[in-house]
A and B are shown apart, each in its own frame.
Chain A
Amino acid sequence: MKLSPRRRRRIARVAGYVVFGLAILAVVGAADWARLSEAFFRRDVATGMFPEAITIALRNTILYTLMAFVFGLTLGLVLALMRLSSVLPYRWFATAYIELFRGLPALLVLFMVGYGVPLAFPDREIPGGVYGSVTVGLGLTAAAYMAETIRAGIQAVPKGQLEAARTLGMSHTRAMISIVLPQAFRIVIPPLTNEIILLTKDTSLVYVLGVTSTTIELTKFAGDTLNTLVNPTPLVVAGLLYLVITLPLSQLVRGLERRAGRER
């Protein structure tokens, strides 16, 4: 029997669905759900984590994220402008900074800030205690990534915009502030939101600085509870709380990208 192309495509598609469904069923069916749920979904352990899981751990995770983001964004903007500067030493510095901090693990940078800065400046300390160290420690790495994003955004603004602004008598600085940067930031809002999502997850590294019961964040909080109760349910709770932060952000990025697509 000779099949028409349309019939052949339909059979191939159905076969694909069947294989896909079977593969999922095989994995799901093979797992021991009774034991798994007993270990990972214990209601008493989960309820015992509240309200501290939200009032302390989730709150600190959000705080660390926001502070590191603001610090990183500010430094990233400066680095992006240096990278595009006509002054050669500025360009060198920015390039070296970006290559260095993009190449180092965030954990390592956090360690160095936490333990190196007190050694380097014995008479001073970063204001804000752990909060300050986290802001700088995570912000230094985030700045390197954001600098590249912002640079790309500035370069995506057509050269004619700057020319038109200069032609109207604006200085270079005025033209950047009033004309180029507002348009560049519109372009980079989706990638910068991704940056916040990555930062949110990087706050799980904060434990290396030795956090206390008031400065604890989600991952460390879950880990401590796990050690005390010898039950992994806290990991699930922490995971869900991370998703409470990151899923709306992902949704936001998608919405922004759709809007940007429409405007173009």
Chain B
Amino acid sequence: MSTIEISDLHKSFGSLEVLRGIDLTVEPGEVVCVIGPSGSGKSTLLRCVNLLEEPTSGSIRVAGVEVTDPDCDIDEVRRGIGMVFQQFNLFGHLTVRENVTIAQRRVLKRGKAEADRIAAANLGRVGLSEKAKAYPAQLSGGQQQRVAIARALAMDPQLMLFDEPTSALDPELVGEVLAVMRGLAAEGMTMLVVTHEMAFAREVASRVVFMDGGVIVEQGPPAEVFGNPREDRTREFLHRVLEPASVSETEIIKIKGETL
């Protein structure tokens, strides 16, 4: 059974159609990286998987459960799906330890001792054992994001969603978050990652999905998508992202002309 099965997914915000028919399957243990220009719908796709956005039409199954079914208990399904946000979204009024235990206590009804033990294990895993008593505002962005990962992992998810987890970080803090994610991937966690970190996607992903204009333009193993893209749009995007210093003025004028 696939971990995620998306078929013919459409999503509109008002008259703006952001997703225009997405079909995507993620198998257990796969690390799928979604890349593409901003506004291409990658984050919306991710947020549809745990129903933070309500799809306009189409179906999404997570571990066999149809989340788009109106009778589906979405709180139940979300327990099994960890999510990491671009803005971390740690709970500012709680300490690091409380951030990692609150959902264990309130949702999974674990006892205090057990929740604390699992929190300690997961904070150790992301290298932040000594920060358990700190408040989020006292941590760097990279540390906050690692706590957010520990918070998600404490719920024993079978799937992790990452929504541009390093985009809000100072450049020198990106590495520590990617290192934790790489470790998770190596342990066999199923991951769907929206990212601009091409090196990470190339190295860690089992599959890379390139989206543009609300559709999947192409997908395949990273070596193929990065090394030998089939579509012009993919090639142009990669050129601009991987060699930003060599984009020529004539290209900009050409692209402007297209959009006008």
- Residues of A whose CB lies within 8 Å of any CB of B are 158, 160-161, 163-171, 174, 178-179, 182-183, 186, 263
Question: Contact at A183–B93, with CB atoms within 8 Å?
Answer: yes
Q: Find A167's partner among B83, B92, B93, B106 (CB 8 Å cutoff).
A: B83
Question: Contact at A168–B93, with CB atoms within 8 Å?
Answer: no
Q: Find B89's partner among A158, A178, A186, A263 (CB 8 Å cutoff).
A: A158
Question: Contact at B79–A168, with CB atoms within 8 Å?
Answer: yes
**Residue of B at shortest CB range from A170?**
B107
Q: Find A168's partner among B52, B76, B137, B155 (CB 8 Å cutoff).
A: B155
Distance in angstroms from A182 CB to nearest chain B CB is 5
- Excluding A167-B78, A178-B106, A183-B91, 7 further A-B contacts by CB distance (< 8 Å) are A158-B89, A163-B89, A164-B83, A164-B148, A167-B152, A168-B151, A170-B107
Interface string of B56-100 (1 = CB under 8 A from A): 000000000000000000011011011101010111110000000
Question: Contact at A160–B93, with CB atoms within 8 Å?
Answer: no
Distance in angstroms from B244 CB to nearest chain A CB is 29
Name the B residues within 8 Å of A169 (CB-CB): 75-76, 78-79, 103, 107-108, 155
List 16 A–B pairs whose Cβ atoms lie within 8 Å, in order of A's numbering.
A158-B87, A164-B83, A164-B89, A164-B148, A166-B75, A167-B83, A167-B152, A168-B107, A168-B155, A169-B103, A169-B108, A169-B155, A171-B75, A174-B106, A178-B106, A182-B93
Q: Find B102's partner among A167, A171, A178 (CB 8 Å cutoff).
A: A178
Distance in angstroms from A259 CB to nearest chain B CB is 13
Q: For chain B residues 124-165, which have a beta carbon within 8 Å of chain A?
A: 137, 148, 151-152, 155
Interface string of B17-54 (1 = CB under 8 A from A): 00000000000000000000000000000000010100
Name the B residues within 8 Å of A170 (CB-CB): 75, 103, 106-107
User: Which 3 A-B residue pairs are closest in the complex by CB-CB distance?
Assistant: A169-B79, A168-B103, A164-B89
Question: Contact at A164–B85, with CB atoms within 8 Å?
Answer: yes
- Residues of B whose CB lies within 8 Å of any CB of A are 50, 52, 75-76, 78-79, 81-83, 85, 87, 89-93, 102-103, 106-108, 137, 148, 151-152, 155
Name the A residues within 8 Å of B108 (CB-CB): 169
**Residue of A at shortest CB range from B91?**
A179
Tell me whether A168 and B78 are in contact in the complex, defined as CB-CB below 8 angstroms, given that A178-B102, A178-B106, A263-B137 are known contacts.
yes
Distance in angstroms from B130 CB to nearest chain A CB is 22
Distance in angstroms from B150 CB to nearest chain A CB is 12
Q: Find A186's partner among B75, B79, B93, B155 (CB 8 Å cutoff).
A: B93
**Residue of A at shortest CB range from B90?**
A164
Q: Find A160's partner among B85, B102, B107, B151 (CB 8 Å cutoff).
A: B85
Distance A163 CA – B137 CA, assembled complex (angstroms) = 19
Distance A161 CA – B102 CA, assembled complex (angstroms) = 13
Name the A residues within 8 Å of B102 (CB-CB): 168, 178-179
Q: Find A166's partner among B78, B82, B151, B152 (CB 8 Å cutoff).
A: B78
Tell me which of A168, A174, A178, A182 has the highest count of chain B C-beta atoms within 10 A of its own C-beta.
A168
Tell me which of A169, A182, A263 has the highest count of chain B C-beta atoms within 10 A of its own C-beta.
A169
Tell me whether A163 and B151 are in contact in the complex, defined as CB-CB below 8 angstroms, given that A169-B107, A174-B106, A263-B137 are known contacts.
no
**Residue of B at shortest CB range from A264?**
B137
Tell me whether A167 and B81 are in contact in the complex, defined as CB-CB below 8 angstroms, given that A174-B106, A179-B91 are known contacts.
yes
Question: Contact at A183–B151, with CB atoms within 8 Å?
Answer: no
Distance in angstroms from A172 CB to nearest chain B CB is 9
Distance A1 CA – B75 CA, assembled complex (angstroms) = 81
Distance A174 CA – B78 CA, assembled complex (angstroms) = 14
Name the B residues within 8 Å of A158 (CB-CB): 87, 89
Name the A residues within 8 Å of B91 (CB-CB): 161, 164-165, 179, 183
Name the A residues within 8 Å of B103 (CB-CB): 165, 168-170
Name the B residues within 8 Å of A174 (CB-CB): 106-107
Name the B residues within 8 Å of A164 (CB-CB): 83, 85, 89-91, 148
Question: Contact at B76–A163, with CB atoms within 8 Å?
Answer: no
Name the B residues within 8 Å of A163 (CB-CB): 52, 85, 89
Name the A residues within 8 Å of B52 (CB-CB): 163, 166-167
Distance A59 CA – B75 CA, assembled complex (angstroms) = 50
Distance A182 CA – B94 CA, assembled complex (angstroms) = 10
Name the A residues within 8 Å of B78 (CB-CB): 166-169
Tell me whether A161 and B89 are in contact in the complex, defined as CB-CB below 8 angstroms, given that A167-B83, A171-B75, A263-B137 are known contacts.
yes
**Residue of B at shortest CB range from A174?**
B106
Name the B residues within 8 Å of A171 (CB-CB): 75
**Residue of B at shortest CB range from A186?**
B93
Distance in angstroms from A173 CB to nearest chain B CB is 11
Distance A239 CA – B69 CA, assembled complex (angstroms) = 65
Name the A residues within 8 Å of B79 (CB-CB): 168-169
**Residue of B at shortest CB range from A184?**
B93
Distance A169 CA – B83 CA, assembled complex (angstroms) = 11
Name the A residues within 8 Å of B82 (CB-CB): 167
